[in-house]
């Protein structure tokens, strides 16, 4: 399972979570920095990524268009990178279950 971390998240997250999600990437690594959400959505869809973001925009797009891609919406205020790593690690099974369930399009973590 591959996660695509949104621009508003640390570019170090893919490396820090490589054990659980080895093929993950950050938008910067994919040449998507500064591009509109629509372009990010299409890239994730075309390349088999699940989008991880703190913005509600992708969750709303998920409701409108459905998967793919799927979305993990991080509902946290200001937090440290380590807190994000811990949250994602604690919910790794939930994230994998999202990927496996064809009826679900997004997961909210808080």
Read off the pLDDT of residues 20-63 as tens digits, 9 standing for 90 and up.
999 999 999 999 999 999 999 999 999 999 999 999 999 999 99
Read off the pLDDT of residues 60-109 as tens digits, 9 standing for 90 and up.
999 999 999 999 999 988 899 999 999 999 999 999 999 999 999 999 99
Both tokens assigned to 55: 């913005």
The domain ranges of the chain are 2-109
In angstroms, the CA 6 to CA 35 distance is 11
According to the model, what pLDDT value does residue 77 have?
84
Q: What is the 3-state secondary structure (H, E, C) of the chain?
A: CEEEECCCCCCCHHHHCCCCCCCCEEHHHHCCCCCCHHHHHHHHHHHCEEEEECCHHHHHHHHHHCCCCCEEEECCCCCCHHHHHHHHHHCHHHHHHHHHCCCCCEEEEC
Q: pTM here? A: 0.96
Handedness of CA 44, 59, 17, 89 (dihedral sign): negative
């Amino acid at each position: 399972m591959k996660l695509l971390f949104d621009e508003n998240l640390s570019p170090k997250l893919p490396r820090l979570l490589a054990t659980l999600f080895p093929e993950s990437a950050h938008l910067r690594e994919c040449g998507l920095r500064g591009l509109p959400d629509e372009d990010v959505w299409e890239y994730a869809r075309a390349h088999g990524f699940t989008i991880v973001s703190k913005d509600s925009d992708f969750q709303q797009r998920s409701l409108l268009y459905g998967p793919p891609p799927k979305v993990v919406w991080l509902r946290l205020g200001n937090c440290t990178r380590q807190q994000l790593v811990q949250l994602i690690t604690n919910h790794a099974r939930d994230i994998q279950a999202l990927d496996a369930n064809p009826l679900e399009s997004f997961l909210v973590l808080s």
